[in-house]
Amino acid sequence: MTSTTTYPSAGQLNPTPRLLLGPGPSDLHPRVIAAMTTPVLGHLDPQFLLLMSETQEMLRSVFKTRNELTLPISATGSGGMETCLVNLVEPGDRVLICIAGYFGERMAEIAHRCGAEVHVEQESWGRTFSLDRLRDALRRVRPKVLGIVNAETSTGAWQDLSSLGALCREFDALLLVDCVTSLGCTPVEIDAWQIDAAFSCSQKGLSCPPGLAPLTLGPRAVEAIRRRKSPVRSWYFDLTALQSYWGTERVYHHTAPITMIYALREGLRLVLEEGLEARYERHQRHARALQAGLQALGLRTLTEGHCQLPQLHAVLLPDGVNDVQGRKRLLEEFGIEVGGGLGQYKGRVWRIGLMGYNSRANCVFQILAALEKVLADCGVRCHRGSGVAAAEAVYANSPS
Amino acid sequence: MTSTTTYPSAGQLNPTPRLLLGPGPSDLHPRVIAAMTTPVLGHLDPQFLLLMSETQEMLRSVFKTRNELTLPISATGSGGMETCLVNLVEPGDRVLICIAGYFGERMAEIAHRCGAEVHVEQESWGRTFSLDRLRDALRRVRPKVLGIVNAETSTGAWQDLSSLGALCREFDALLLVDCVTSLGCTPVEIDAWQIDAAFSCSQKGLSCPPGLAPLTLGPRAVEAIRRRKSPVRSWYFDLTALQSYWGTERVYHHTAPITMIYALREGLRLVLEEGLEARYERHQRHARALQAGLQALGLRTLTEGHCQLPQLHAVLLPDGVNDVQGRKRLLEEFGIEVGGGLGQYKGRVWRIGLMGYNSRANCVFQILAALEKVLADCGVRCHRGSGVAAAEAVYANSPS
């Protein structure tokens, strides 16, 4: 029954390299690339089990938590979002989702698919939620889970969370936080901020390839899972089963993505070698330089100043600049990728990321120089070299 | 609020290399390792979109199908299983699962979580299902989906599927096949066998790291999804949304695991360069050599001869051999990993895999020599060198 047709294979893998200054993936740190060439181990090899434990311990340090249930899900960041929701929510549970961008919307959509009764609190894209407003919403909805985004990848807005955990406890709600774009770039304090569940990704602040979703759940979230009346609807994302593999029992669940775990482990080592505070300060410093450069070029960002993330800047496109053509030029002429806008900002912003390994002066200079050229050719008036010069001035005044 | 504690990072990644002769992961082909060092592209970069299309086209060749909906899921093989079931099954749908091993059981468990009314057809582990028996079951249950495993990773049994698709059509049932351990090792003929949906993994016959689940769905399966009354319960595994990204629309869904796609693309190139028939014949040849060697050592496998997979051999442990200690010796003294038994065969078999890149004479010789040493030390009588000699005789009689 086997036919004998032959099939052509594709040519050698040989893409033109890019500098990834969009919303992620970001460029891999060279040491992460090297780690991925390490010979593969079996998923139950004692050597690999040790690497798993080390990865979890470093994840706890980066999340600033002592949560036992801290592990990377074998899926991308959105898979981490689904894992948290499908485990915490049972059909009919009330969930309150705060939406001020694309990824808040995604959280509401996934909660809906989990069978939740979804209530949403809407804010204009690029803005954030005040504690008073969230208190009113909690009082009105009385949700089992409040879901919110710490760093909104679609707008570049930073949501303060430092007192939200305490507020959620007043209302006996679990606090679920999307840290996809914050982890490794801006402070994430799971225990100090009393966050019950959080998820992130590998390809932004951690400078690894996309493919893993680190997450952490605290005691209240674990207890909520233990008290479920119905089985978790997903087998693949069932945290109780996953914990049996990642915990001390070491019961086989699915074959862990070994090479990706190698990458994550190396990415976490780099974060801890640098030190969390030094890393956050580095992101702030290069963001100041970028913002000074953007301002000198006459560009503004979507967010208001106080909530601008250092790792992601949604730049409003000036009149006369064509989104698709402009990004195509950046990509093909300068080898730089920036992100287009999402949702209502499609065609209206470019999202510039300075994340993890790519939060460095070379990246700031390259994107400012390229932007100036592309904008000038579209008729946008800017002084030659003004963007780079403004960034240089920032660096001169704040040496590393 | 940021505390200033410093945290230790783990040491340099430096595991002792292993030869992976278990049920997977299998060793990566060196060209796959090299491909993973290629600079990361953005998930919407035109260069990456082209690589995606090439990967899909090669996947179609390896699956022997023209199915448009052919793509790798961003999860491991079990995630592919869940993707097929969560898309094809709506709550209350009748599903018939054929169980003759651990992975048939997994399929029933996942179908149950999807809300299906699950009926099972049980067979002893290591045996397979006759067409007559499946006809009776189809007549009795009248399921929407019949799920069956092509190559049972827990037993090493090969299930013939060549006429099952036609039978399922008689009963208007969709045929869903687990090809996790078959793809790239033994023939998989999606179109010729009229298989409606199938999934596999990256880390066995394709010699890539674990982390992707290639799958393919035919027109009848796609129509079943189109006719759903309820939304797919999983957002991450929603094939309609995934097809919008992988198809011509190129609508962002989640960030594709770029580096893993590079690996898969290279693994598929290697399969097609070798040629499917040559690859299947290679697996048969080294399996004959291994089986001759095992026989010379007085060892038997769990399956009966006619349904023994060439890529996976579940060897029954002779009296006097301690499972855990024996595998530990293989691992630590010889650097070879074999798999332990699953379920009812835990402690009773060792699963030896010769998959993809590791289906070669060196692997056969190494495992036979190591087995002989470990067995002899446990008091099992075997002539010195008899296993390797028997394998050599097979090679001498069937030169490549």
The pLDDT tens digits of the residues spanning B202-258 come to: 999 999 999 999 999 999 999 999 999 999 999 999 999 999 999 999 999 999 999
Residues in chain B with CB shorter than 8 Å from the CB of A55 are 10
A263 Cβ neighbours under 8 A, 6+ residues apart: A28, A32, A35, A36, A202, A208, A209, A212, B259
Cα–Cα separations (whole angstroms), residue B273 to A9, A178, B34, B400: 6, 43, 17, 16
What are the two backbone dihedrals, phi and then psi, of residue B372, each rounded to the nearest 5 degrees?
A: -55, -45
CB atoms within 10 A of CB A202: 33
Distance from CA of A210 to the nearest CA of B (A): 5
Q: Does residue A2 have a pLDDT over 60?
A: no
pLDDT digits 0-9 by tens, A44-90: 999 999 999 999 999 999 999 999 999 999 999 999 999 999 999 99
- State the Rg of chain A over Cα: 22
State whether A193 and B1 contact (CB < 8 Å): yes
Confidence of residue B5 (pLDDT cuts 50, 70, 90): low
State the amino acid at position A348 in one-letter form: R
pLDDT in the model for residue A65 = 98
* Contact check, Cβ <8 Å, A209/B259: yes
* B137 min Cα distance to partner chain A (Å): 25
Instruction: Inspect the interface and report whether the beta carbons of B39 and A15 lie closer than 8 Å.
Output: yes
Is the per-residue pLDDT at B1 higher than 50?
A: no
Mean pLDDT over B40-51 rounds to: 97
Confidence of residue A132 (pLDDT cuts 50, 70, 90): very high
Whether A251 and chain B come into contact, CB under 8 Å, resolves to no
Query: What average pLDDT score do residues B333-341 get?
Result: 98
Mean pLDDT of chain B: 96
Element (H, E) at B176: strand B174-178
Distance (Å) from the C-alpha of residue B6 to the closest C-alpha of chain A? 7
Structure tokens, A217: 């759940």
Q: What is the pLDDT of residue A1?
A: 42
> Most A CBs within 10 Å: which of B3, B6, B7, as the mutation test of the A interface?
B7
- Partners of A301 in the β-ladder: A315
State whether A255 and B43 contact (CB < 8 Å). no
In angstroms, the separation between the Cα of residue A41 and the nearest Cα of chain B is 7
Chain centroid to CA A66: 21
From residue A242, give the alpha-carbon distance in Å to each of A48, A194, A249, A259, B79: 16, 23, 10, 18, 13
Mean pLDDT in residue range A265-282: 98
* Listed range (A21-30, B28-37, B154-163, B379-388) with the worst mean pLDDT: B379-388
How does pLDDT run across A335-364, given as a tens digit for each residue? 999 999 999 999 999 999 999 999 999 999
Please give the share of chain B, as a percent, with pLDDT higher than 90: 94
pLDDT at A84: 98
A180 with A103: CB under 8 angstroms? Answer: yes
**Nearest by CB to B234, which of A234, A255, A258?**
A234
**A255/chain B closest Cα distance in angstroms:** 7
Tell me if A9 and B268 make a contact (CB, 8 A cut-off): yes
Select from B40, B48, B113 the Cβ nearest to the Cβ of A209: B40
| Closest-CA residue to A71 (of A278, A260, A280, A233) | A260
- The identity of residue A67, as a single letter, is N
- For residue B2, pLDDT over 50 is answered with no
CA-to-CA distance for A141 and A121, rounded, in angstroms? 10
Query: Does residue A3 carry a pLDDT above 60?
Result: no
Chain A within 8 Å of B76 (Cβ-Cβ)?
A: yes
What is the DSSP secondary structure assignment for residue B318, as one 8-state letter?
P
| Binary contact (A1, B193; C-beta < 8 A) | yes
For B62-82, the pLDDT digits (tens) are: 999 999 999 999 999 999 999
Query: Helix (H, G, I), strand (E, B), or coil: what is residue B97?
Result: strand
Band (A8; pLDDT cuts 50, 70, 90): confident
| Inter-chain CB proximity B272 and A48 less than 8 Å | no
Confidence of residue B305 (pLDDT cuts 50, 70, 90): confident
Q: How far, CA to CA in Å, does B371 sit from each of A44, B290, B385, B386?
A: 20, 11, 11, 11
pLDDT per residue over A43-52, tens digit each?
A: 999 999 999 9
In chain A, what is the straight-line distance between the N-terminal and C-terminal CA atoms, in Å? 68
Above 70 in pLDDT, residue A249? yes
Contact B38, B384 (CB under 8 A): no
Confidence of residue A398 (pLDDT cuts 50, 70, 90): confident
Cross-chain residue pair B22–A42, CB shorter than 8 Å: yes
B98-124 in b/e burial notation, b at 16+ Cβ within 10 A? bbbbbbbbbbbbbbbbbbbbbbbbebe
Nearest by CB to residue A82, choosing from B4, B234, B269, is: B234
For B:133-192, CB contacts with A below 8 A are 162, 187, 189, 192
The answer, for B275 touching chain A at a CB cutoff of 8 Å, is yes
Task: Report yes or no: B334 at the A interface, CB cutoff 8 Å.
Answer: no
Please check the confidence at residue B389 and state whether its pLDDT lies above 90.
Answer: yes
- Does residue B362 surpass a pLDDT of 90? yes
Query: From the centroid of its chain, how far is CA A191?
Result: 19
B343 contacts in chain A (CB < 8 Å): none
Is A7 touching B (CB cutoff 8 A)? Answer: yes
Q: Is A240 on the interface with B (CB under 8 A)?
A: no
pLDDT at residue A5 tops 90: no
Residue A381 pLDDT level (bands cut at 50, 70, 90)? confident
Cα–Cα distances in angstroms (integers) from residue B101 to residues B154, B155, B164, B302, B342, in the given order: 6, 7, 19, 12, 9
pLDDT band at B35 (very low <50, low <70, confident <90, very high): very high
Which chain A residue shows the shortest CA-CA distance from B4? Answer: A277
pLDDT of residue B6 exceeding 90: no
Helix-then-strand count for chain A, H and E = 13, 14
Pairwise CB contact (< 8 Å): A22 & B42: yes
The answer to whether B211 contacts A260, with C-beta atoms less than 8 Å apart, is: yes
Q: How confident is the model at residue A9 (pLDDT cuts 50, 70, 90)?
A: confident
- Please write the tens of the pLDDT for every residue from A297-339: 999 999 977 799 999 999 999 999 999 999 999 999 999 999 9
Which 35-54 residues of chain B touch chain A by CB within 8 A?
35-43, 45-48, 51, 54
CB contact under 8 A, B10 and A48: no
A366: pLDDT strictly greater than 60: yes
Is the pLDDT confidence value at A120 over 60?
yes
Q: In angstroms, rounded to a whole number, what is the distance separating the alpha carbons of residues B245 and A40? A: 30
Residue of A13, A66, A185 best to disrupt the B interface, most CBs of B under 10 A: A13
pLDDT tens digits, one per residue of B282-300: 999 999 999 999 999 999 9
Residue in chain A closest to B113 (alpha carbons) equals A233
Residue with tokens 């093909």: A332
The mean per-residue pLDDT over the stretch A383-388 comes to 90
Task: Tell me whether residues A15 and B54 touch, CB distance under 8 A.
Answer: no
* pLDDT score of B340: 97
- Is B230 an 8 Å CB contact of chain A? no
Interface of A with B in 292-321 (CB under 8 A): none
Q: Report pTM.
A: 0.97
